[in-house]
């Protein structure tokens, strides 16, 4: 029984580390999009200066909601099954971002989107497949 519990505990730890890393990255991106002046932001992300400011702010809000969805349901123990749903939504976000960049001829920058989508897929799989997704 103990041997079966260790992989489950290890998986839970790896899932939490992945969730925190992805959420932290999304919170950073949200803060940049919501609080940095567009001129400064477009120096880092040229697309930000070439689309409406409302789109940049909207994507910042979506990033923030995704990060909160990865962490809060399980941490607060309120509807923890929302965590894998948030992870699937992040996959959709990253696919959309990839399509956006490819359409703009920026396919070379989608590596980050692919990595984040893979992290979100791992979280969705792990949290849907586990009987309990609460911290242990």
pLDDT tens profile 7-23: 688 999 999 999 999 99
- Which of 14-23, 35-44, 65-74, 123-132 is predicted with the least confidence, judged by mean pLDDT? 123-132
> Is residue 132 over pLDDT 70?
no
Show Cβ contacts of residue 21 under 8 Å, excluding neighbours closer than 6 positions.
119
Provide the pLDDT for residue 70: 97
Centre a 10 Å sphere on the Cβ of residue 133 and count the other Cβ atoms it contains.
22
Among the listed residues 89, 109, 88, the one whose alpha carbon sits nearest the alpha carbon of residue 99 = 109
Extract the tokens encoding 14: 């790896």
Show Cβ contacts of residue 54 under 8 Å, excluding neighbours closer than 6 positions.
none
pTM to 2 decimal places: 0.88
Chain centre to alpha carbon of residue 87: 7
What totals of helices (H) and strands (E) does the chain contain, helices first? Answer: 5, 0
């Amino acid at each position: 029984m103990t041997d079966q519990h260790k992989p489950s505990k290890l998986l839970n730890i790896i899932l939490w580390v992945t969730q925190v890393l992805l959420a932290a990255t999304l919170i950073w991106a949200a803060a940049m999009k919501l609080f940095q002046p567009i001129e400064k932001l477009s120096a880092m992300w040229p697309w930000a200066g070439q689309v409406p400011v409302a789109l940049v702010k909207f994507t910042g809000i979506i990033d923030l909601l995704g990060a909160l969805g990865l962490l809060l349901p399980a941490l607060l123990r309120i509807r923890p099954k929302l965590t894998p749903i948030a992870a699937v939504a992040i996959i959709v976000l990253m696919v959309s971002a990839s399509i956006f960049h490819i359409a703009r001829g920026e396919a070379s920058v989608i590596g980050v989107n692919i990595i984040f989508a893979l992290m979100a897929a791992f979280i969705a799989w792990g949290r849907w497949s586990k009987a309990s997704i609460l911290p242990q």
